[in-house]
Amino acid sequence: MKNTPYEIFGEYREAADFKAALGKRGMYEQNRINERFYIGDQWYGAKCGNDRPLVRHNIIKRIGDYKMSQILSNPLTVTFSAEGVMSAPADYRTLSSAGYKNETEEINSVMSALSDYYDVTAERVNLTMLNERVLRNAYVTGTGVLYTYWDPSVSTGLYADAEKKIPITGDIACEVLDIDNVFFADPYLYEVQKQPYIIISSRRETDDVLREAKAFGADRITLRMIENGSSDGKITVLTKLYKEYKADGSYTIKSVKVTENAVVREEYETGLRLYPLALFRWERRGNTVYGESEITYLIPNQIAINRMITANVWSAMTAGMPMMVINGDTVPDGITNEPGQIIKVFGSSDEVNGAVRYVSPPDFSANFDSSAQSLINNTLTQSGANEVALGDSRADNATALITMRDAAVMPLQIVKNRFYSFAGEVSRIWADFWITCYGKRKIKLSDRKGTWYMPFDSGRYRGLIINAKISVGAGTVYSESECVNTLVTLYEKGIIDRRQFLERLPDGIVPDKDGLLSENTDTEADYGDGI
């Protein structure tokens, strides 16, 4: 595969043309429109001939924020395993210190350690915030992209020698990419990992690109070509990731970085077996690799709702401040129709009586307001974000509320499943980096027993195919109230005592809970009856 700047930019422009023609308006234009509607700029380009307000009732954002919060409400747990190796529970703290009996035990111990190390890495890269941005992008544009790369500047705080003179640097880093800047070899191939190549576009400071090119050995001619291709101090840089196959059918991921007329970094082997990009599609768009945004199909309803509510507001304003009609022959200039204004009229009493009058606006249909509300409710219901889901409904008890809630969020489960698949792909990509780039180092592990550093030699596990299982925990929505109700039931039935009740209450429910517990250190009888 030839990868000259000319050839790569040709592939880039071909993929960009496909995006520009995708859908009714093209992906780029549709994404811009969707973004405006999400943030509330829903009257963009509309002109009103007077000072009357253009009202917005942003149901698009409310629907999206609700669904995104629901998707993120369930904590995820990742469990790694090696393909072809029988999985078994393994205490990596004990086994790694005492020595492994066999290869299977070693691999299971390492997989268990990596499962805990995932949480450490997630906290370091702030995966929660990254997932929020991925979800937002997916809701607005149809596709969210998380890009993982190796950052050699990351300080690990570890050393390769006992004297601590040789620091170990470098670790994975993550970045949320705009789908407008990601291009695929075959847009009709849904699976990312089956793509022949992927191109990432970025607009960067020219000086930054020059420094990078110098670091990778660029000569003066190359540096001059990069500088000449710059405009406004910035330049477009394309990073191409592609597969290079070997004689045995296996492949590795290679990369090259170019500007339009120069090579920033020559082709190099990443060592990875997976493309380091994970995609989350809000909705599938046929068989294409790009997703579809829900906003695209909510916009007509949003426009109708805004117009109806605006008309209602204008009608109320007209009724409260009706237009004034004056006789220009008897009333001087300067009439503003302001409340309390004194109007001087010159002429006879008949002229005074007929000088000023108000135009009564037509009656506004009482059904108009109810129609607007009905459209809002129908839109929310069809989107799976009705009043029950949004928390606007009331129930007689917690059990009924939970039942209603679970029924309301059921339509969202398909989108949740796609997100869990995305999380699994991110996990596998991270594992690919760990066994490819880490070399010999200690990895930081944290659990209930504390923080511990385990020796890790990635070269021993490079041949493994690592799977990631995503386990979904209970959601956080209503979990606090559910917990309290359950504890009350257990206490009333005598299954737990008062101390057990207080110890298990969520933090913040009872002021100075620890103080209350310390004041009563004896048995249940010391507390008396009741809670």
DSSP string computed for 298-316: HHHHHHHHHHHHHHHHHHH
| pLDDT of res. 292 | 95
Q: Which residues pair with 414 in a beta bridge?
A: none
Domain boundaries, the chain: 479-527
- pLDDT over 90 for what percent of the chain? 50
Q: Which residues pair with 201 in a beta bridge?
A: 238
CA-to-CA separations, 243 to 12, 410, 448, in angstroms, rounded: 17, 40, 41
Per-residue pLDDT at 475 exceeds 60? no
Q: Nearest 5°: CA angle at 71, between 430 and 287?
A: 70
Q: DSSP readout, 446-499?
A: EETTEEEEEEEEGGGGTT--EEEEEEE---STTHHHHHHHHHHHHHHTTSS-HH
Q: Which residues pair with 446 in a beta bridge?
A: 451
Name the DSSP letter for residue 322. Answer: P
Q: 373: pLDDT confidence band, cut at 50, 70 and 90?
A: confident
**Secondary structure element (H or E) that encloses residue 245, with its range:** strand 234-245
For 442-469, give one letter per residue: b (16+ CB within 10 A) or e: bbbbeeeeeebebebebeebeebebbbe
Q: How far is CA 422 from the centre of its chain?
A: 11
Query: What are φ and ψ of residue 294, in 5° steps?
Result: -65, -30
- pLDDT over 70 for what percent of the chain? 82
pLDDT tens per residue across span 149-192: 999 999 888 887 788 888 889 999 999 999 999 999 999 999 99
Q: Residues 12, 185: contact at Cβ < 8 Å?
A: no
Q: Residues 439, 460: contact at Cβ < 8 Å?
A: no
Least confident of 298-302, 318-322, 488-492: 318-322
Q: From CA 292, how far away is CA 286, in angstroms rounded?
A: 9
Instruction: Provide the token pair at 501.
Output: 């009740």
Report CA dihedral (521, 522, 524, 525) to the nearest 10 degrees.
Answer: -130
Helix axis angle, 103-124 to 127-141, nearest 10°: 70
Higher pLDDT, 368 or 247: 247
Name the DSSP letter for residue 327. Answer: -
Nearest to 478 by CA among 411, 394, 405: 405
pTM equals 0.81
Name the DSSP letter for residue 359. Answer: P
Nearest to 241 by CA among 250, 252, 225, 226: 252
| pLDDT of res. 335 | 73
pLDDT tens per residue across span 438-467: 999 999 888 777 888 889 999 999 989 999
Average pLDDT, the chain: 84
| pLDDT of res. 142 | 96
Per-residue pLDDT at 393 exceeds 70? no
Query: What are φ and ψ of residue 376, in 5° steps?
Result: -60, -50
Q: Residues 467, 115: contact at Cβ < 8 Å?
A: no
Q: 249: pLDDT confidence band, cut at 50, 70 and 90?
A: confident
| pLDDT of res. 523 | 43
